[in-house]
Amino acid sequence: MQGLPYWRLSSFYFFYFAFVGALTPYWSLYLKSLEFSAFQIGVLMSLLQVARIFGPNLWGWLADHGGRRVVVVQFAALLSLLCYLGVFAGTSFAWLFSVMLLMSMFWSGSLPLVEAITLDHLGDSSEGYGRIRLWGSIGFILAVIGLGYVLDFAPVSNLLWIILGLKVGVLLFSRRIPEPLFVPHQSDHLPVWNIIRRPEVAALLLACFLMAAAHGVYYTFYTIYLVDHGYSRSAVGWLWALGVICEVLVFLYMPRLTAVFGLRTIFMASFMLAALRFLMIGWGVDWLWLVLLAQTLHAASFGAYHASAVALIHRYFRGRHQAQGQGLYTSVSFGLGGTMGGLLSGYAWESLGPGWSFSMSALFAGLGLVVLAWQRCWNIP
């Protein structure tokens, strides 16, 4: 597309999700090496989601009212990097709690704003979002596979330095993002609450909350679960990567899938397949073929789900409400839902065991499907 800063946007996504690929699967192993309990690990990992409750709304409001979204992204990336340096200064639970919370408050603000910036640059061609976002998935894949091999032979403490390098990359490439032209919308004068209280928007946000909660056990304990069942860390890295490779394929073919099935059908199917996936992980970990099959379903439980959710939010929140809309999506789903899922995962893991913990995840995804089925009044092609 002429005038689209494709590589500048893609480079930011690459480093941002390479950081996620290093942190999400392996940070729990670092915390375990510090001899924290499962509940403490669940609490610390949930801080990444707790910050998403407040951070995206705050940064989204600031960006929409200040009119300089890229500057806010750069400021948030810088402060997140500075806060992360605290992990080198101590290893107590209280210290890491403070460091991770502060880092996450700034880190959580970047992505929703970049999502809004990307969609603004795309304009009426929002179906091209997946072809930019897929570079984030590629960054995640390279990080998760590479670190799997590194941590098979090197102390897990090396993870701290690798993450530092990736956060520096996020900061540097945030400075390459161009500010899009602002296009006013007829609803700009209305409060954002007028959009949120629409039944179809409320149902969408509730379903997103439940889907994020469903992933709490997966993002907190999946790596530990596989390692405890005899999988090497390099094998774990490949399993994480398999899911994201399937996610990339969905991003590539999302315009074609949307044209054939429609956003609403794709969105609802992602919840049904997510429930199936978590049951397969919870009760089939000793069968490699079942674990592999479950990972391919990441294409649905995250890839198709996220691409659909971002597109739907963009349709409802227009003009000066775009950054707030993407921030609200992040806050309600990854923030509130992710926090609840993460906290419940620590409790369920110790009291119910892995199988029933992943069954709880399947239940959340099933409830999301019920919400969407109940809200039948959407008029979405």
Domain residue spans of the chain: 9-179+192-374
Q: How many CB atoms lie under 10 A from the CB of residue 121? A: 23
pLDDT at 30: 93
Reduce the secondary structure of 259-282 to three states and give it as a string.
HHHCHHHHHHHHHHHHHHHHHHHH
At 370, the pLDDT band (50, 70, 90 cuts) reads very high
In single-letter form, the type of residue at position 367 comes to L
More confident residue, 56 or 303: 303
Among 78-92, 246-260, 316-330, 336-350, which is the least confidently predicted range? 316-330
Q: What is the pTM of this model?
A: 0.77
H or E segment at 4?
Answer: none
Q: Is the pLDDT of residue 1 over 80?
A: no
Query: 74-113 pLDDT, tens per residue?
Result: 999 999 999 999 999 999 999 999 999 999 989 887 888 8
Q: 281 near 294, Cβ under 8 Å?
A: yes
At 66, the pLDDT band (50, 70, 90 cuts) reads low
pLDDT at 338: 84
For the chain, the average pLDDT equals: 87
More confident residue, 190 or 92: 92
pLDDT at 184: 53
At 200, the pLDDT band (50, 70, 90 cuts) reads confident
Average pLDDT score over residue span 205-232? 92
More confident residue, 75 or 116: 75
More confident residue, 2 or 358: 358
Q: Is the pLDDT of residue 215 over 70?
A: yes
Query: 126-152 pLDDT, tens per residue?
Result: 667 778 888 998 998 899 889 988 988
Q: 198 near 359, Cβ under 8 Å?
A: no
Q: 278 near 332, Cβ under 8 Å?
A: no
Q: What is the DSSP letter of 186?
A: T
pLDDT at 377: 47
Q: Spelled out in words, what is the top-level CATH class assigned to the domain 9-179+192-374? A: mainly alpha
Structure tokens, 238: 């490949």
What angle, 0 to 180 degrees and rounded to 10, lies between the N-to-C axes of helices 93-122 and 6-33?
A: 160
Query: 275-327 pLDDT, tens per residue?
Result: 999 999 999 999 999 999 999 999 999 999 998 998 888 888 876 677 778 77
Average pLDDT score over residue span 251-263? 87
pLDDT at 94: 95
Percentage with pLDDT > 70 across the chain: 91
Q: Is the pLDDT of residue 187 over 60?
A: no
Q: Is the dihedral of CA 109, 114, 119, 123 positive or negative?
A: positive
pLDDT at 319: 65
pLDDT at 326: 79
379: three-class secondary structure by DSSP: coil
Average pLDDT score over residue span 194-222? 90
- Which of 114-123, 222-231, 330-339 reaches the highest mean pLDDT? 222-231
Average pLDDT score over residue span 4-10? 86
Q: Please state, in angstroms and rounded to a whole number, the distance separating the CA atoms of residues 158 and 118.
A: 33
